[in-house]
Structure 1
Amino acid sequence: MENRVAVITGASSGIGFATAKLLAARGAKVAVLARRKDVLDELVNQIRAAGGEAMALAVDVTSQASVDAAAAAVEAAYGPADLVFNNAGVMLPGAIEERQIDQWEHQIDLNVTGVMRVISAFIPQLAANAAAGATVDLINTSSIAGQNIYPYFAVYSGTKAYVSHLTRHLRAELGSKNIRVSMIEPGITETELQGHWTFQGAKDWLAGAQQSMEFLQPQDIAEVVGFLAAQPKHVNLQQVVVMPTKQAT
């Protein structure tokens, strides 16, 4: 990772936070993007205290202008990015009959359109680095929910199915240009996402799951990101499913 320029969205908590620290510890210059600038600043302080290099950018991935401005700031500070971890997302389970349209739209805008906004902003930098012979990665965070069926998670699962299938198509399109495209599909991971749940059925399921299995931790997924990025340039792991040992589906 020495001298690589890594961009991480959704970096203010969970998987993004852990991945930023791991990549910086391995030598990357890390740009951390999220809405909560105060948390990002603390993350940057931690990285720098450990001898790494990082910058914090307050970004709203539901705004193309915000993401474009961040891309320009990264390039001005560090040069063009050669690793983008497209990780921002939200999970809001609920019964479809409750017609929580605002929650549906929020998940679609963040998990689907937000992913596309980040790709749009950073693909010129990734392409330029690939053309120059660098190792280049676009890594998208999907979910096992993109493959499997879970009551009350229909909209969230649909957004993650989009991310997974998008990744397959982009790998076919961009691989010939030496841009590696990967997705990580985690099972249940202990992050802030579950703290946003309001639907009681999902809360009950979560409480039961916590009694029956040990959840993945953000550091577990960060290690996968590091593994993907460390492969030889000609090796592209397209899809990595990471599950708690006791989670069957």
Structure 2
Amino acid sequence: MSGDLAGRRIAVTGGSSGIGAAVAAELRARGARVGIIGRNAERLAAVADATGAVPRAADVADHGAVRSAVEGLAEELDGLDGLVNNAGAMLHSRVSEGRVDDWSAVVGANVLGVLHASSAAIPFLRKAARQGPADLMTVTSAGADRVTRPEFAVYMGSKAAARHITEGLRLELAGDLVRVSMVSPGTTDTEGHGPGIADPELRQRVMAQKASLGLRPTAVAAQVAAVLALPPGVSIRHLEVRPFPGD
């Protein structure tokens, strides 16, 4: 609903494409002031131009860079009362292949990114919660509770870790009145998830499934915004969003 997030100041990681860019656009349409964080400065600037979000280039796997980005956005937006941990990497392979760089990229974005951005934002969220709603959200995965192929183990393991970390944050921040939630999309048609898969057959299969069955990023973004727009005294801890039919 237009205007239902008016006055909110929300940072979104992974804001240069896919779900993150769609979230930035949706939050802006609902009246929020939005900051976006991403590695690719050029793509980040394009999203900022299209949405009116404030860009800060940083790799979420780099603790110092993320802290500086979050603090910069808080200064630019006159505080923060929301964080959406959305940055992610999907690089599927079997553990026996020993793709160490891929493991580092996946864990860096999907696990360390949640820790780095959350720890940087918490002081601002705690302060904001004294005057009104404050939210910390993590975008995880509907498949994080199971591994259906050996190539998916590292990715799903990282998303399961993100879920547990977010649940720990819920317990940690409950006394500060900061709402903590998760939105877990099923297969989503985003350009960032799939092209980096090394095995050509698996890459083709994953990309075809996303194109034929995947949710549109805008559909996920609408649910992210709906959770953030809940009235005081109401929370949704975990929302799973799946394409229908399929997935």
TM-score interval (norm. to shorter)? over 0.9
Structure 1 counterpart of 2:75: 76
Q: Which residue of 2 aligns with 1:39?
A: 43
What amino acid sits opposite 1:47 in the alignment? T
* Distance apart, 1:39 and its partner CA: 1.5
Contact 1:84 1:138 in 2 (8 A): yes
Match of 2:169 in 1: 170
CA RMSD across the alignment: 1.6
Is contact 2:188-2:210 (8 Å) kept?
no
What does 1:1-249 align with in structure 2 at a 5 Å threshold?
A: 1-48=5-52, 54-130=53-129, 132-151=130-149, 152-191=151-190, 192-206=192-206, 209=209, 213-248=212-247
Q: Which amino acid aligns with 2:8?
A: R
Aligned residues: 241
- Provide the residue aligned with 1:51 in structure 2: none
TM-score (normalised: structure 1): 0.91
Please state how far the C-alpha of 1:214 moved relative to its aligned partner: 2.6
Match of 1:158, as an amino acid?
G
Confirm or deny: 8 A CA contact 1:182 1:239 kept in the other structure. Answer: yes
How far apart are the structure 2 equivalents of 1:210 and 1:91? 13
What's the offset of the Cα at 1:142? 0.6
Give the percent of matched residue pairs that are identical in Structure 1 and Structure 2.
Answer: 32
Gaps of 5+ in 2: none
Contact 1:147/1:161 (<8 A) preserved: yes
Deviations 1:126-179 (A, max 9, x none): 01111x221011110111221122211100100000111222222122123211
Task: For structure 1, list consecutive stretches of 5 or more residues without a partner in the other structure.
Answer: 49-53
1:61–1:114 Cα contact (<8 Å) kept: yes
Q: Distance in 2 between matches of 1:67 and 1:96?
A: 29
**Runs of 4 or more above 4 Å deviation:** none
Q: Bigger CA drift: 174-183 or 119-128?
A: 174-183
Return the alpha-carbon distance in structure 2 between the equivalents of residues 198 and 6 of structure 1: 35
**Contact kept? 2:111, 2:158, Cα under 8 Å:** yes
Q: Is the 8 A contact 2:169 2:180 kept in 1?
A: yes
1:71-114 per-residue CA deviation (whole Å, 9 max, x = no partner) reads 22112211221110111110010122211122112211221111
Where 1:85 maps in the other structure, the secondary structure is strand
Contact 1:187 1:247 in 2 (8 A): no
